[in-house]
């Protein structure tokens, strides 16, 4: 994985067993600490990322943008910026702590947004959306079957002509297995984060990563350690999978939320596909 992107999943079960059995919550504790998680990943330039959404939609979408869906939305960092610009935001997540954290913010700000408890692999909505996004490698698939079900779910809620923007979800540089560490602080809370990936089965694309948050919260220290297992699809594999459907077409690859820049080894590399 590339530049400081981690939102983790561990899956040891088949997708058909049921959505809540797909995730090993005991090994995924960072989602139970939304404030610490938010601080750890606050290095992002959310206005610039939102600019990219608007630019790529303006250039490649065939429908106007009104509603944005974020998959595995976590602390929903784009929520306020998108609503400030006049869009409606919908997020889906499975962690109750994250969901409550974001719903409290929505109620406090009184903005046009909602969070739905749902599994990003297999979900549906009564109302369609105009654009779907997944950020920071939050692409929770561990098999070809997961990918097929996920793409069908997104296609089922995205209007024809709308874009699906995937941030750090496709493996452009599988050799990029760097351990990364960084520090972020807010309101007297300091978080030292470490992301350490390694291949479990490179031939089949199975990558395990450990995310560690060392937290100092006004004199109280805590270590939160988290594990993930994901299937990494190379760019070629991903394109082959979407071309095998009759619902998606490839639009382009970008990096660092710059519509003029292509993927590079240490970049936040993005893949954009369009709903037919």
Strand, coil or helix: what is 167?
A: strand
User: Are 124 and 95 in contact, with CB atoms under 8 Å apart?
Assistant: no
- Which domains does the chain show, CATH number per domain? 15-169+234-275 (3.40.50.150), 180-228 (2.20.25)
pTM for this entry: 0.91
Two tokens, residue 262: 């292509």
| CA atoms of 104 and 107, how far apart (whole Å) | 5
In this prediction, residue 24 carries a pLDDT of 64
What is the pLDDT averaged over residues 201-224?
A: 95
What is the pLDDT averaged over residues 174-187?
A: 92
In this prediction, residue 22 carries a pLDDT of 53
Contacts (Cβ under 8 Å, ≥6 apart) of 86: none
Given a cut of 70, whether residue 145 has pLDDT beyond it is yes
Percent of the chain with pLDDT over 70: 91
| CA atoms of 124 and 127, how far apart (whole Å) | 9
| CA atoms of 219 and 190, how far apart (whole Å) | 10
Of the listed ranges 61-70, 167-176, 184-193, the one predicted with least confidence = 167-176
Crossing angle for the helix pair 144-157 and 235-243, to the nearest 10 degrees = 60
What is the pLDDT averaged over residues 36-41?
A: 98
Banded model confidence at residue 14, pLDDT cuts 50, 70, 90 = very low
Banded model confidence at residue 191, pLDDT cuts 50, 70, 90 = very high
What is the pLDDT averaged over residues 163-176?
A: 93
User: Are 94 and 23 in contact, with CB atoms under 8 Å apart?
Assistant: yes
In this prediction, residue 8 carries a pLDDT of 29
Given a cut of 70, whether residue 235 has pLDDT beyond it is yes
Banded model confidence at residue 140, pLDDT cuts 50, 70, 90 = confident
Q: What is the DSSP string of 214-228?
A: EEEETTEEEEEEEEE
Given a cut of 70, whether residue 110 has pLDDT beyond it is yes
Given a cut of 50, whether residue 9 has pLDDT beyond it is no
What is the pLDDT averaged over residues 149-172?
A: 97
What is the pLDDT averaged over residues 62-82?
A: 98
Q: Which carries the bigger pLDDT value, residue 214 or residue 2?
A: 214
Contacts (Cβ under 8 Å, ≥6 apart) of 208: 197, 198, 199, 200, 227, 228, 229
């Amino acid at each position: 994985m590339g530049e400081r992107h981690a939102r983790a999943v561990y899956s040891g079960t088949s997708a058909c067993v049921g959505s809540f059995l797909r995730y090993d919550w005991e090994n995924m504790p960072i989602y139970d600490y939304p404030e610490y998680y938010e601080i750890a990943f606050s290095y992002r330039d959310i206005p610039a990322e939102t600019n990219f959404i608007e630019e790529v939609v303006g250039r490649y979408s065939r429908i106007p943008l009104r509603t944005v869906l974020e998959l595995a939305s976590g602390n929903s960092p784009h929520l306020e910026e998108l609503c400030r610009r006049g869009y409606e935001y919908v997020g889906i997540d499975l962690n109750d702590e994250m969901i409550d954290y974001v719903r409290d913010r929505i109620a406090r700000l009184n903005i046009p947004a909602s969070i739905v408890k749902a599994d990003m692999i297999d979900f549906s909505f009564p109302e369609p959306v105009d654009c779907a996004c997944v950020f920071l490698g939050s692409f929770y698939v561990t098999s070809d079957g997961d990918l097929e079900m996920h793409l069908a779910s997104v296609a089922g809620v995205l209007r024809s002509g709308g874009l699906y923007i995937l941030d750090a979800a496709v493996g452009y540089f599988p050799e990029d297995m760097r351990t990364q560490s960084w520090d972020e602080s807010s309101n007297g809370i300091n978080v030292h984060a470490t992301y350490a990936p390694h291949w479990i089965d490179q031939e089949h694309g199975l990558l395990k990563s450990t995310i560690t948050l060392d937290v100092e919260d006004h004199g109280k220290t805590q270590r939160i350690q988290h594990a993930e297992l994901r299937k990494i699809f190379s760019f070629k594999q991903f394109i082959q999978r979407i071309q095998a459907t009759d619902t998606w077409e490839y639009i382009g690859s970008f990096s660092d939320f710059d519509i003029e820049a292509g993927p590079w080894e240490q970049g936040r590399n993005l893949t954009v596909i369009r709903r037919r």
